[in-house]
Structure 1
């Protein structure tokens, strides 16, 4: 009896081992993805994505890729046309998150839910929200866009204020304190706290302040909410800063605006902006001001509340016109969902990744001479963890922003109240989009 049982056990064990070896052999024989991929993006994102793909060819030797470089605005003309026509689209396309909901709504993108599912808990929630529709995912988050307060150490010191990041963070811990600091700087130096055009306001600062509060053009139910009491309060704060002469008048992305940062003696004291401004300051906006800058968390609405927001960022999508979707997914998974890859991208282009598992890397702790030795990488990664989900980027975002910005300018130039400005914007958005 014992011998019979022994033979049965040995037989079962042999079958199990054979099955296991068979599975391994089958896996070894399964062909890896292959093919040539066309990627649409704009410079220098091709260089930065390539930095994330170091070593990729060693694993996927039969996958090739080439870039078609457009201006960002040209992508948003050509890509929707190709999606709706059902032909002419690339295999992979880079999309700014402000345009992403619109592209997802158009259709024609590969549902990547199954592929991205193992990484859901590793990616920042606010970025995932923008990649999702009806609990399905259609994009892989790439760079984040954490917002902080860049400030000029020399201007703070000139005003008799401390300039080290920790103390500055306490000085501007709330927007009320920020306002008081702005008044001190104006009184002591004559310099402005930030640029914020009255006549040609683009609404970006307003959006960042809304995002900080988890607000936006719509609410969680999709109803227009740009004229909520909280939104009106937010705009009124900007109005107070503007009417009291604490904001300067430069329009963004003009020579005058660049000069407001690059000036040695007459610069603005601070700028509420996203992490990607770092590279622009260093490269061409204010390269001659190295060592004069610091970065602090943006002020909170109330002591102890959220000091984080977002502005911009981008993601990659795979189109249904792609002939090699497995190859496209392999490329994006390697480049965007692997710690070393996103770390390499940060080294190449300074992009703050959406992959939270990478945030403990030593590279984020390097002291930056442009910011007088401050470790800004760690700060931005910490902010990424705190960015709330908001309702700024919608399928009609471009339209909503275009309708709201002129109303903000009318308010800032004294032509109407903040309530009237946002009521007008809300009515125009409802009429244009059909939303309630």
Structure 2
């Protein structure tokens, strides 16, 4: 699939049988379904680098050729531009950078073991499905683990071994229209909890009239599920616990359902697919004042919202309880090295440079030929990289320092998040049921009970 992560081209709604991937939005789950039918969803124990028995290549070599896969688009170009800085450090390592449809090609390639790359980009929601095929990099990454955001280290750990290299961090934020809040007499500082957000939305609606439904309500089932996971992560929860037990029917998720249902029943929500034409039209018509979403929604303020550009601002998410955590993550991606890679250690050196060296992460996030202001749609997941601002302030946010806002939430992001191996397949059960609630067809309790029952019987029990 050629959808670009950085260009964030808006997509039309996709069916609820499709799987979610964040910046490229939704990816087909047909491949994942085939893997499930083949019984590959189990997370088999991953061997250490010295005992994998499948990979070749010296752990001290600094000469050779590696094949690296990335999705096509702007991000591919950004990564490609970093190769020059890598070769200054390792002039005898040749990087063959290949643009591929990773989501469709990687699962088949890892299962067949034919023409396996030395490294590949992969969405975090997809990571658990093929974990038994990833190289165990625990020993190599050990010097950096204390400086990796715990959330990202957790999603790349399986069976107590690290099998992926954490890349970007996608904090959740509350985007808001500063001018609309000012006209309605609402101070952003007054929005400390989700109850405060509802109260503020009422004040904005009172000012701008009933056509103004100030809070964005997501309409795509796949994006809805990812969105709800952000709210759940903020409360220290996820669809499964550390042992893989389903915990969807729980208080954190009920809190989310109750909030979304109140937005609906109190007529405070503009329901639309993220950055669809209808969504953008409502935003430009001053019908939306609050957009709780991942940091990558800044793309809209920068490039899509023509009539309100410069009027948006960002702040941390409201807390679920007064004084509670205001940090969370929505989406993300990492890099993996296949067990059957020809030169796994050389691939590790490439990713070590890209993720953990100042030259590498600065080349990715800082101003470059593709993005003169740098990439502001995510953050590095490596804590030392957060100490110095890498990209410029956002014009779409009126020059606000998005870097400071986003990095300020990192300390509050709960680290005990677990991606279910059937996550993508759960969209027709969970994401779709949330949409039924927003249609007024289900109660919050019914969503959680029905979704939990279906996921348990149709996905968990059939692994």
TM-score, length-scaled by structure 2: 0.79
Compute the displacement of 1:96 (Å).
1.0
The answer (yes or no) to whether the contact 1:53–1:334 under 8 Å persists in 2 is: no
Aligned counterpart, 1:133:
158
1:234-274 superposed Cα distances (whole Å, 9 cap, x missing partner):
2011101111110012223421123233x1x4241011111
Aligned counterpart, 1:47:
77
Compute the displacement of 1:160 (Å).
2.6
Q: Point out the structure with the larger helix share.
A: 1
Compute the displacement of 1:276 (Å).
1.7
Taking the aligned partners of 2:326 and 2:72, their CA distance within structure 1 comes to 31
CA distance 1:144–1:51, change in 2 (3 Å): farther
Taking the aligned partners of 1:349 and 1:430, their CA distance within structure 2 comes to 39
Aligned counterpart, 1:65:
95
CA distance 1:434–1:197, change in 2 (3 Å): closer
Aligned counterpart, 1:84:
111
The answer (yes or no) to whether the contact 1:342–1:353 under 8 Å persists in 2 is: yes
Taking the aligned partners of 1:311 and 1:51, their CA distance within structure 2 comes to 27
The answer (yes or no) to whether the contact 1:368–1:374 under 8 Å persists in 2 is: yes
Compute the displacement of 1:222 (Å).
1.9
1:379 and 2:405 matched: yes
| Secondary structure of the corresponding residue to residue 249 of structure 1 | strand
Aligned counterpart, 2:265:
243
**Structure 1: any 5+ residue segments left out of the alignment?**
1-29, 163-167
CA distance 1:359–1:418, change in 2 (3 Å): same
CA distance 1:116–1:87, change in 2 (3 Å): same
Taking the aligned partners of 2:220 and 2:61, their CA distance within structure 1 comes to 60
Q: Name which of 116, 120, 126 aligns with 1:93.
A: 120
The answer (yes or no) to whether the contact 2:236–2:414 under 8 Å persists in 1 is: yes
Aligned counterpart, 1:407:
433
Q: Name which of 302, 317, 336 aligns with 1:317.
A: 336
Aligned counterpart, 1:226:
248
1:88-139 superposed Cα distances (whole Å, 9 cap, x missing partner):
33221111111112231xx221111111000001110000001001111111
Taking the aligned partners of 1:362 and 1:381, their CA distance within structure 2 comes to 9
Which one has a bigger Cα radius of gyration? 1
Taking the aligned partners of 1:198 and 1:133, their CA distance within structure 2 comes to 32
Taking the aligned partners of 2:65 and 2:174, their CA distance within structure 1 comes to 45
The answer (yes or no) to whether the contact 1:41–1:67 under 8 Å persists in 2 is: no
Compute the displacement of 1:363 (Å).
3.6
Q: Name which of 180, 184, 199 aligns with 1:180.
A: 199
| Secondary structure of the corresponding residue to residue 272 of structure 2 | coil
Compute the displacement of 1:217 (Å).
1.4
Q: Name which of 445, 456, 461 aligns with 1:430.
A: 456
The answer (yes or no) to whether the contact 1:95–1:316 under 8 Å persists in 2 is: yes
Aligned counterpart, 1:271:
291
Taking the aligned partners of 1:147 and 1:274, their CA distance within structure 2 comes to 4
Moved more, 328-337 or 48-57: 48-57
**Structure 2: any 5+ residue segments left out of the alignment?**
1-59, 367-373
Q: Name which of 124, 139, 159 aligns with 2:149.
A: 124
| Secondary structure of the corresponding residue to residue 66 of structure 1 | strand
CA distance 1:278–1:188, change in 2 (3 Å): same
1:258-311 superposed Cα distances (whole Å, 9 cap, x missing partner):
3233x1x4241011111122235423x225533211111110011111001111
The answer (yes or no) to whether the contact 2:216–2:272 under 8 Å persists in 1 is: yes
Taking the aligned partners of 2:282 and 2:94, their CA distance within structure 1 comes to 44
1:196 and 2:217 matched: yes
CA distance 1:363–1:332, change in 2 (3 Å): closer
1:344-383 superposed Cα distances (whole Å, 9 cap, x missing partner):
322232231001012121446x543332232110221121
Aligned counterpart, 2:170:
145
Taking the aligned partners of 1:198 and 1:418, their CA distance within structure 2 comes to 16
